[in-house]
Amino acid sequence: MRVIRLLPRKADEMKKVSQRKTESSKQPLDPQIDHSVGLVQTNYFHFALPPNELILEGGEKLGPITVAYETYGKLNDQRSNAILILHALSGDAHAAGFHRREENPGWWNNMIGPGRAFDTNRYFIICSNVLGGCRGTTGPSSINPKTGKKYGLDFPIISISDMVNVQKHLIDHLEIDQLLSVAGGSMGGMQALEWLASYPDRVKGAVVIATAAKHSPQQIAFHEVGRQAIMADSHWKDGYYYGGHSPVKGLAVARMIGHITYMSEVSMAEKFGRRLSGNGKPHKFSIGFKVEEYLHNRGDHFVKRFDANSYLYITKAIDTFDVSRGRELYEVLRGNKAKVLVLSFKSDWLYPASQSKEIVKACKLAGVDTTYCEIDSTYGHDAFLLEVEEETHLIKHFLHKVSFEQGVIGEYEVREYAI
């Protein structure tokens, strides 16, 4: 096992990097200049048609199922250079590039593209919306074929294992026998672990970022408060609110709670301090501080693109996830031939480094070839979306090594790291 530690930048360097990241995420630049994959489109895969519905982990059947997915780069003749990107709670299939008439790029645009961490000149990148989502893949806001109405709470309980099972069907549809790697942060990291546990013969590598093998009581507690906020909204109506007012107030509060956990104390202090918002609202309890204004803006933005029931189902799937299935994790991973890169961030208190180290320890005990890096960052959990330079450095090297050993590329550059 290799352990790598990256040193923090100075405060003035952090501000410059943060400004550069913010500017680059908003402007659709020339793909030849900013290494973007350019214009992309979402594809759809349909399967599990009756009577061949998908049997979920809980025993219920679900079908038909639609999967929204995007691809970037080119699949080689051997079909051996495919990497599956796994999104977090609020993500979707649109991981990179730009959709027509949309200003913002995909959620991991700075990491996917020519010359980037997931280099589309070398690899065929796939990203799909998870089961239970609301961005094109079947979820509670989809039409229930038995009633002709949206599922609501008639949608069955799902798990991370079910999400990965659906992804496997997509990979089968694309006629890819083995993935060069899976990669994801937060809930995406859980899916990567599930791939290692459930389909070890289908993956050659895994990039596991800022995640846990199972949630702690504190992590479950934050999600439960968010769920209660949604269900306490009078417009939720036991999950059958479609066609009327959505529980936007409850969902906005849930998202506000989430954003508090995504940031560190240092990043909040640097970003907001105790500065006043100056919004001029007359109410005694109007938004007074910049941090309050930020949270309200994040909540208001989120409800425009996400479904409240999907939030309930997905957060429950995250909370009930336990890749070890009650066993010792090293026992589940024993015999796994995949190479694993585990990344954590020093200021991430939502998914602390200690949980990543537990994964690394289990991999070591199982004899899995594992590299671990704890990156010094002040961004908190958001660091897995923001620390582009550090992640790119590490992931590029890792993927080059896996590719070389699998014969995908013909050269392997050895790089030195300061430990």
Q: Which of 119, 162, 307, 348 is catalytic?
A: 348
Task: Measure the CA–CA gap between 366 and 359, rounded to whole angstroms.
Answer: 11
- Positive or negative torsion for Cα 164, 107, 289, 19: positive
Task: Measure the CA–CA gap between 229 and 246, rounded to whole angstroms.
Answer: 13
Residue 69 token pair: 């997915």
Task: Measure the CA–CA gap between 365 and 342, rounded to whole angstroms.
Answer: 15
CB 92 within 8 A of CB 136: yes
Asked if 381 is an active-site residue, the reply is: yes
pLDDT at residue 12 in the model = 47
| Apex 384 CA angle, 381 and 386, nearest 5 | 100
DSSP string, 264-276: -HHHHHHHTTT-B
Asked if 30 is an active-site residue, the reply is: no
Task: Measure the CA–CA gap between 236 and 233, rounded to whole angstroms.
Answer: 6
What is the arithmetic mean of pLDDT over 110-119?
A: 98
**pLDDT mean across residues, the chain:** 91
Task: Measure the CA–CA gap between 126 and 69, rounded to whole angstroms.
Answer: 7
Q: Which of 35, 215, 223, 381 is catalytic?
A: 381
* Domain residue ranges of the chain, discontinuous segments joined by +: 2-214+323-405, 215-320
Question: Which CATH number applies to 2-214+323-405?
Answer: 3.40.50.1820
pLDDT at residue 266 in the model = 96
pLDDT at residue 2 in the model = 57
C-beta neighbour count of 232 within 10 angstroms: 12
pLDDT tens-place string over residues 118-137: 999 999 999 999 999 999 99
Could you tell me which residues come within 8 angstroms of residue 261 by beta carbon, excluding any fewer than 6 positions away?
Answer: 222, 349, 350, 380, 381
pLDDT tens-place string over residues 18-38: 443 444 444 444 444 457 999
Q: What CA–CA distances, in Å, run from 334 to 289, 331, 344? A: 51, 5, 23
Pairing of strands 181-185, 112-113: unpaired
CB 153 within 8 A of CB 309: yes
Q: Which residues pair with 340 in a beta bridge?
A: 206, 370
Helix axes 290-302, 248-262, angle to 10 degrees: 120
Does the pLDDT of residue 217 top 70, yes or no? yes
Q: Which of 90, 142, 186, 356 is catalytic?
A: 186
CA of residue 344 relative to chain centroid, distance: 14
pLDDT at residue 282 in the model = 57
- If residue 308 lies in a helix (H) or strand (E), which one and from where to where? helix 308-320
CB 351 within 8 A of CB 264: no
pLDDT at residue 287 in the model = 67
Q: Which fold has domain 215-320?
A: Rna Polymerase Sigma Factor; Chain: A (1.10.1740)
Asked if 186 is an active-site residue, the reply is: yes
Task: Report pTM.
Answer: 0.91
pLDDT tens-place string over residues 30-84: 444 457 999 999 999 999 999 999 999 999 999 999 999 999 999 999 999 999 9
Could you tell me which residues come within 8 angstroms of residue 349 by beta carbon, excluding any fewer than 6 positions away?
Answer: 261, 264, 380, 381
Amino acid at 151: Y
